[in-house]
Amino acid sequence: MSLPAMVVNHRIEVDGIDLFYREAGPKNASVILLLHGFPSSSHQFRELMPVLAVKYRVLAPDYPGFGFTEVPESRKYEFTTANVVQTVEAFLNALNVKSFAIYLHDFGAPVGLRLAMKRPNAITAYIVQNGNIYEEGWSSYWDSVRLWWTNADPNLRSSLINNLQPPHIKGLWQAGAKEGQVVSPETYTLDSALLTLPGRFDALMDLFFDHRTNVAIYPEFQKFVRESKAPFIIFWGSKDPVFVPAGADAYKRDIPNVKVKHLNSGHFLLETHLDEIAPDIMEFLGHHL
């Protein structure tokens, strides 16, 4: 009897942080790095990892401020994208990972592309899922955040925290569910529970505020994508309340022959449409890894 690949949980001390990550697949296989989005963690990849691990070594870390990664107060960690990239890089160094394919979801897109710009020859292939780097991709979801960027009003910060309550998190996970489909309740329940841990909302708000620095370098991301020799494939949920489908099609401007697949799904399409994209991912990786 053939059993699915086992996902193993680990902790590792890197960058002064107790970093939690999930791993699956043969140790000597080509590596795929899975970078999660807001407001989740490596948990969002729990169903995809056994599929990929049949052939590949799959690594999925929790960023500082997310999931089960623990940041000592004495570390005085500043929650910026640049620092998250530094932590992910330290994680790769600790595991001696030199070359890898990368999965970019949501916040994982700026994290992964900043990492790629530091290590342009390390990444062998890009899988982008609702990972926006274009103005066209913005939805009204960001209006209050972008207003906050212009004046750093503490009241706006407080109102954003008030919006990130369990019903909102649940809505993000359930967006785009198929008719009659029940999205696993542990997803949004876990995310909401972890957000109540000390310092988590502050970390998330710091990263939201810092996200303006990613928007400022969108042209650099786009230039990098345009000049990259590694292949890309793009998946996007058409019902994503965070980033609209135009963000997917904008990649075609810089990668004319890229495959862009729109699905009748939302922000977390692995939760609702894994059966539709996992075969495409495996085919894509089979051609390019």
Which residues have a catalytic role annotated? Answer: 267
Counting Cα atoms < 13 Å in the Cβ hemisphere of 127 gives 24
H or E element: which one contains 48? helix 48-52
In angstroms and rounded to an integer, the radius of gyration of the C-alpha atoms of the chain is 18
Alpha-carbon distance 94 to 12, whole Å?
Answer: 8
CB 131 within 8 A of CB 137: no
CB 114 within 8 A of CB 211: no
- Strand positions, DSSP E, the chain: 8-14, 17-24, 31-35, 57-61, 100-105, 123-129, 232-237, 259-263
- CA 246, 248, 253, 258 torsion-angle sign: negative
CB 235 within 8 A of CB 265: no
Token pair for 211: 């996200």
Lay out the sheet containing 100-105: strands in order across.
8-14, 17-24, 57-61, 31-35, 100-105, 123-129, 232-237, 259-263
Token pair for 214: 């990613």
Alpha-carbon distance 263 to 103, whole Å?
Answer: 17
Token pair for 176: 């785009």
CB 5 within 8 A of CB 54: yes
